[in-house]
Structure 1
Amino acid sequence: MARPPRFDTDQILDAAVRLAASAGPGGVTMSAVAHAVGAPSGSMYHRFAGRTALLAEVWLRTVERFQDGYFDVLRADPDARRAARAAARYVVSWSRAHPQEAALLLYGPAEFGRADWSEEHTRRADSGNARVYASLGSLGEALGAAGPQDQERVTLALVDLPLAVVRRHLRAGQPLPPHTEDLAEECAAALLQTA
């Protein structure tokens, strides 16, 4: 009878998140992750084909967890303006609750080796991105966005602006101030008044 593994995939990916948050994507190596969980380096290759697969999985698991909550917030309120405000707040509140994951996402998929990902990993990433832009497009229509400039405003209000607030503090190694959710929501609401 085979021995059950001592470390599950989530434990390994959790260690990879911590390494990425502290040392960037370059710090996420097979041996560094194995060392962080106390596993032999060879055992890493039973879970991941190589470093590229590990980087893809840590990126995708993190972004998919964020996106799942983001979609829930966008769908939770039938009033488009309230949903938009809640989405802007969510970016900040999720980042506050998950600072290591937020720090990881500030790098972007290219820095996690996207150019070398498998077809399946690339498909998952593209599918998630398509869902985000479709949701933002639908929300933009509900807000009365009439053209490309209005849709750009929705993306700016609900993605770019809240991420800028988060980025500035996390990159400086500072906790997010208590007012950042309010600030992201207020700015999003102001931008979307003309949408």
Structure 2
Amino acid sequence: MGRPPRHDRDRLLDAAVDLACEDGPAAVTVAAVARAAGAPSGSVYHRFPSAAALLAALWLRTLERFQDGFVAAASGEPAEEAVAAAARHVVAWSRSHPREAQVLFYGPRAFGRSSWPAAEADRFDAGNRRVRTALTGLAARLGRPDEVDRIVLATVDVPYGLVGRHLRAGTPIPASAEDLVADAATALLQSQRKGDPHTAPHT
């Protein structure tokens, strides 16, 4: 068997993650990644034919690793527990992968989203559709197909807001955060729907 490549794709992307976290997305250049990984620039260009391709690969690898767990949590049964599980995943993953969470916090535009190669742009759109499909399916399993926005608020917006507060401040995400977002997600799910005759209070 041949030896594994010394400067493989993941090692180069790990170096890119470090650069983005330390100095921002603008610091992620082919030359900087090569220096950080101790690799010749040719090794970087061999795997990423352009700076845009490098930035796209960094973002997509990070996003898809997050989305895999999120979609799995949101697709679980029973549906009521899946809401809390999806919210927990946002916090748990971010605490376990703080540098990758910081990459996601910058957003795709900071990594040159408009200049990505077509194949990478399609992957990005497909990943977002996968998440939307999971959340739409979750709303349907809950018997609330018209309340997808409520499910997004419970599983994405609220936990991401908590994570973002700690990322902005540069403080660790506390272990209690998972319970907080799970409780908030459950409360949003159980809150009375305006105009719903089955949940309106008796007078």
Question: Could you state the TM-score of these two structures normalised by the residue count of structure 2?
Answer: 0.89
The answer to whether structure 1 residue 100 and structure 2 residue 115 are counterparts is: no
Across the aligned residues of Structure 1 and Structure 2, the Cα RMSD in angstroms comes to 1.6
Q: Per-residue CA shift, 1:78-112, capped at 9, x if unaligned?
A: 21110110110010000010000000000111111
SS in 2 for 1:174: coil
Aligned counterpart, 1:174: 171
Deviations 1:99-126 (A, max 9, x none): 0000000011111111011110011001
**CA 1:4–1:85 in structure 2 vs 1: closer, same or farther (change >3 Å)?**
closer
Q: Which residue number corresponds to residue 188 of structure 1?
A: 185
Residues in 2 aligned to 1:172 and 1:4: alpha-carbon distance in whole angstroms: 39
Q: Residue 71 of structure 1: CA displacement?
A: 1.7
Q: In structure 2, what is the equivalent of residue 51 of structure 1?
A: 51
Give the letter aligned to residue 177 of structure 1.
P
Q: Cα deviations across residues 116-144 of structure 1 (Å, max 9, x unaligned)?
A: 11110011001000000010001011122
* Partner of residue 200, structure 2: none
The answer to whether the 8 Å contact 2:56/2:120 transfers is yes
Pair member with larger Rg:
2
What is the match of residue 19 of structure 1?
A: 19
Separation in 1, partners of 2:153, 2:139: 11
**Identity percentage of aligned residues:** 53
Q: Runs of 5+ in structure 1 lacking a partner? A: none
Cα shift at 1:21 = 1.5
- Give matches, 1:21-170, under 5 Å: 21-75=21-75, 77-147=76-146, 150-170=147-167
Shift of residue 49, structure 1, vs aligned partner: 1.1
Aligned equivalents of 1:6 and 1:83: distance in 2?
41
Q: Distance in 2 between matches of 1:78 and 1:183?
A: 21
Distance change (3 Å), C-alpha of 1:140 and 1:27: same
Deviation of 1:63 after TM superposition, in Å, equals 0.4
Where do 4+ consecutive residues of structure 1 move more than 4 Å? Answer: none
Aligned-residue offset at 1:166: 0.4
Aligned length: 191
TM-score under structure 1 length normalisation: 0.93
Rounded Cα–Cα distance in structure 2 between residues aligned with 1:191 and 1:102: 25
Consecutive unaligned residues in structure 2, runs of 5 or more: 194-203
